[in-house]
Amino acid sequence: MSPPKRKFTAADLIAGQSYSVIKTFKDYDGIIHAVGESWRFVSKDFLPYEDGLSLHVESNGQNVTLRLQWREETQGELIDNFSDFVEEV
């Protein structure tokens, strides 16, 4: 039996670690991130006055920013339960 999967938030991503989407989600800009999408996490920025969390990733050799908002009515639940949507690879 394999050990339980590590739970993490979007703010807990590890620089240099690769991740793969396992459950489709939509970011703040309305961009759909589908199952199978994968990227390497580079860094994050947090904008407290807007509760904005920007995830900077590298995907197919391109620098990409996923913008999220850490509020209940937007992506709060997604951010808090990010390990339900992406897995470390």
Residue range of the domain that includes 77: 15-88
- Residues 5-34 have a mean pLDDT of 96
**Tokens describing residue 21:** 């989407």
Given a contact cutoff of 8 angstroms between Cβ atoms, the answer to whether 34 and 86 are in contact is no
**According to the model, what pLDDT value does residue 87 have?**
96
Q: Regarding predicted confidence, which is higher, 5 or 75?
A: 75
Model confidence, pTM: 0.92
Q: Let me know if residue 21 belongs to a domain.
A: yes
Q: How confident is the model at residue 85 (pLDDT cuts 50, 70, 90)?
A: very high
3: phi then psi, degrees, rounded to nearest 5? -65, 155
H or E stretch covering 77: helix 76-80
Q: What is the CATH number of the domain that holds 76?
A: 2.30.30.350
* pLDDT above 70 (res 67): yes
Q: Let me know if residue 47 belongs to a domain.
A: yes
**According to the model, what pLDDT value does residue 6 have?**
81
Q: Let me know if residue 82 belongs to a domain.
A: yes
Instruction: Identify the three-state secondary structure at position 61.
Output: coil
